[in-house]
Amino acid sequence: MLEILLATNNFGKVKEIKDILNSPKVKILTMKDFPNLPKVEEDGKNYQENAFKKASKISKYTGKICLADDSGLEIDYLKGEPGIYSSRWGTNDKERIKKVLKLLENVPKNRRKAKFVCAAVLIFPDGKIYKVKEECKGSITFNPKGEYGFGYDPIFLIPEYNKTFAELGDKIKNRISHRGKAMRGMVEIVKEISV
C-alpha cells in the first residue's frame, strides 16, 4: 500500500483531497500524524513553487511520499488578485469574502470573471517529482450563497450550474473544481506507481 502524506493544515483541503484520492491502494496520512513538523514559508513566486516548497520540506523531514497543493482565486477585474495570496487576504474566510465583495462593489456582472487555479506536487523521498496544474473558470457573485465548501466557495459562481461552489456540494464540486481536476491527475499518476 502506498502511503501519502498531505502537506496541509487546511482541514477543508484534507477532506476534499481524501474524497478525491479515495483508493484501497492508498493510505492517506495528514500533518496531525506527525507532531512538531516544521513550518513552511509560502513565499514562492507562483502556485507551483509554493506547492513544491511544502511537499519537499515535509517529505525530507518525515521520509514520506508527500502531496501538496497551492491554489488561489484570480479575479480579472483585480488583475489576477488575490492569486497566490488568496489565503492571506484576511484572518478568516468571512473576512476574505468581505474584502473581495467590497473591491467589486460597483462592478457589473459581465466584469466579474474569475478563475480558481490549483498546482499540485507529489514528491518521493528518492527525489522523484510529479506536477499537475489545473483551473476552473467562473465569476464572482454579489453576495455569498451556500453552506458547503470553504474559502471563497460562497462567492464563486459556476455558469453551467448557475450556482456557487458552496451551493453545489462536495460531489459536483470535486468533479469540476480546479483541485478536483488536479487531484484526479495525481490519482492517475498514483495508479501507475502503485500497479
Q: Return the residue matching grid coordinates 474584502.
A: 99
User: What gap in Å lies between CA 167 and CA 170, rounded to an integer?
Assistant: 9
43 assigned to active site: no
Which DSSP string corresponds to 26-53? EEEE-GGGSTTPPP-----SSHHHHHHH
Contacts of 21 (CB under 8 A, 6+ apart): 4, 28, 183, 186, 187, 190
Q: What radius of gyration, in Å, describes the C-alpha atoms of the chain?
A: 17
Active-site option among 19, 33, 69, 70: 70
Rounded to the nearest 10 degrees, how much is the dihedral formed by the CA atoms of 113, 12, 170, 161? -10
User: What gap in Å lies between CA 123 and CA 189, rounded to an integer?
Assistant: 12
Helix (H, G, I), strand (E, B) or coil at 178: helix
Q: Return the residue matching grid coordinates 464540486.
A: 173
Catalytically active residues, by annotation:
70
